Chain A
Amino acid sequence: MLSFDPYSPAIDADPFPYYKQLRDEAPCFWSPEAQMWILSRYSDIVSAGQDWQTYSSASGNLMTELPGRAGATLGSSDPPKHDRLRGLIQHAFMKRNLLALEEPIRAVAQEVFGQLRGAKQFDFKDVSSQFTVKVLMAALGLPMGDEALVPEHEVRENAVLMVQSDARTRAKGPEHIAAYNWMQDYASKVIAIRRAEPRNDLISNFALAEIDGDRLDDREVLLTTTTLIMAGVESLGGFMMMFAYNLASFDEARRAVVANPELLPDAIEESLRFNTSAQRFRRRLMKDVELHGQTMKQGDFVCLAYGSGNRDERQYPNPDVYDITRKPRGHLGFGGGVHACLGTAIARLAVKIAFDEFHKVVPDYKRVADQLPWMPSSTFRSPLVLQLAVQ
C-alpha cells in the first residue's frame, strides 16, 4: 500500500522512489503520518507556490513548525505583511549588492579549505560548517572575532539541530526546542547590541527599521533574525554537503568541474534540481481545493515536495540522471513564487567560490562510506557526516 511518512528514516535516506510512486499513483496524497496532503508533481507545486491566497504560509512553512514562529517571519507570513518584511531585507541580498562580499568570501574559503593541505581523509562537514558560519556572520553583520558572543561552532550546531525532528514522536524533541531557544537567545543579544550601537549592517538596519512610522514589533525582529541565521547556516551548509556528495559520487562531473571551474555554476544548478537540501515545505489551505479527484479542505495542511517536483519526468527528461550539462531552468531547488529563497544570489556566489578554492587544495576525492547517516528532518535532507578520501 502507498504510504509517505516524512519522519521515516527511510525517507531521510532516499525519498526519491517514494516520490515517484506518489507522482504516478497519487499526485494528491493524504499522509496520515504527516497529517497533511502531499503534492509531488512539478506543475501542481508551481501552481500552489504561485497562489499564496489559497496556499497560505501564515500557519507556518516548516513541515514541523517551531513553537511561536508562525506569522512572525518572512517564510511564515503572507502578503502584504510578508512584502513589508521582505522589503526591508532583500536589498542586502541582491546580486549587485553582494559584490563587496566576494573578496571576503574568497578569503574565508582559502583559509578554511587551506586546512586540508596534506590531509588523506576528512569529514567535509568540518570545513563546510566553518565556511558557512563565517560567511553568514559576515553577510548578516553578526559580531565576529574579538567581538564574538559565542563560539562559531555553537551557532552551526544549534542551527542544524533546530531544523530536525523526532522520527518516533513525529514532533520536535526537547533537544530541538532547546536549540531553537538557544538561537533566539543569541539573536536577541545581537539585536540589543546593534540597537545600542547601530552599524551599517543588515541586523542594525532591520532592528531599527520603521515602516510608515511603525517599528517592527520585537517578536518579528527576533524571529526573523533567528530564521535568517538558521536558514543561512543550515541551508547553505546542507546544500554544500549535498553538492560535495554529488561530486564525490559522480566521477565524470567532478573531473569536469575541477578541470574547468567555469562549469561550477551549471553543476550547482543541477544539484539544486537533483537533490537539494530543502526538500519539503508546507502551506495551509484557505479554501477547499479539488485536485486529481481529491477534495482538500479549508484548514488542511499541504506539503509542497520540491524535491519530487524536481524529479518529475513530466518536466525533466531522465530526471534521475545527474547531468551538469542539463541547465535545469525553472527548478524548485529554491522553492518558487513570493516565498522563493531570499538567499539565492549569495548561495550561488558562496558555493561557487567555496568549491573553486576547495578543488585547488583537493582536486580529486571519493566517498569513504556507501551508507551515510542522514539528518532526521521532515523539511531538509543532508548527510550529518561526509567522510572523503583524497585520491
Chain B
Amino acid sequence: MSVLLALARLRKSFGDRMLLDLGELVIEAGQAYVITGDNGAGKTTLLRILAGLEPADIEGLRIEGVAHNGAQVSRQIVYVHQHPYLFQSSVARNIAYGLRARGIDGVKRERLVEEAIAWAGVGHLRNVPPSKLSGGEKQRVAMARAKVLGPRLFLLDEPTANLDGEARAQTIALIRQLVQDKNSLLIACHDRELIELPGTRRFHLENGKLTEV
C-alpha cells in the first residue's frame, strides 16, 4: 500500500504537561486504524490536530508525498465529532454542505447527496430538522456528510460512544462498509467491536506515545 500520511514528529503540550510526543507516524492509503487508550490519553486531541482544528508542533507532515502544514489539510481529511454538530437546516442540506463549499454544481451535488443519504439509510430523515434526530441518526448523517466528500482520510472520534442497541449496530455497519471499501480511517474508540473489526490495525496511545499493537 502507498503512504497516505506521514509525519516525522508531533508534539502537543498544555502548559507544562506534554500530552502528545509522537515520533514517526505513517498512515497507509486504504487502511483503517483504531486508536485505543485511556480517557485523557490524547486520542481526540491527536485526531483534531490531524484535522487542522488544533495547533501543535508538527515536523515533516506529508500527505501523498506533498508537504503540508497543519492548517492546510481540511479538504482532504474530514473529522467526525464524537457528538456531531448538525447545522440548523435539513438533513439533505447538512450532507450537501461540504460539496457547496467545494463549489460542486447543483445536479452533481444532488446526485452525490442522494447516494450518501441512501448509503447511510437516512432517506426518511431527509427533511427532518436536525434537533429532532436521535444521537444515532445524527451520527449516521455526520458519516454521510463526511463520506459524500470522498476524503483521503476519515477521522472518527468515538463514533459509537453514547450509542447503544440498533443505533450502535447501524453506525458500526457503516464503518465496516468504509473499511471494506478500502477507505483510510483513523478511529479513536473504546468499543470492543470496532477494535476487533476485521481489516483494521491498532495503535495504542499511552503517556503521549503511539505504538502499533
A and B associate: no
Give residues in A with beta carbon < 8 Å to B: none
